[in-house]
Amino acid sequence: MLPAIRWLMLVAALGSVAAYVSGTIQAVAYGGSAKEWVVDLHERLGIASSLALWLWAVSFWVRPLRNRSFLIGMVANALLAVTGFFGGIIAHG
């Protein structure tokens, strides 16, 4: 099971880079609008989420970090949830 987790986490981390690029392109449309601060916050949270995902993915490959994988995963999931919340505000609020 560990090999599958390793590869899936790597795919998730790579997906976060794609999400950042597409979000940066879309953020231009919100410049000067009332939602601009939410977009900026969402971008910062997205960067933190991406870094946490990369750290989590690396923790499955580097033996000394494996015992911290659960904690890193909890932080990554919390960041992803908050980032998604603000993304929902941008899209639907």
pTM of whole model > 0.85?
yes
Which range marks the domain in which residue 53 is found?
A: 2-92
Q: How many CA atoms lie within 13 A of 40 on its CB side?
A: 7
Averaged pLDDT for residues 15-32? 94
Taking only the tens place, the pLDDT of each residue in 5-21 is 889 999 999 999 999 99
Taking only the tens place, the pLDDT of each residue in 36-91 is 999 999 999 999 999 999 999 999 989 999 899 999 999 999 999 999 999 999 99
- Total of domains in the chain: 1
Measured distance CA(43)–CA(83) in Å, rounded = 8
> What is the structure's pLDDT at 1?
58
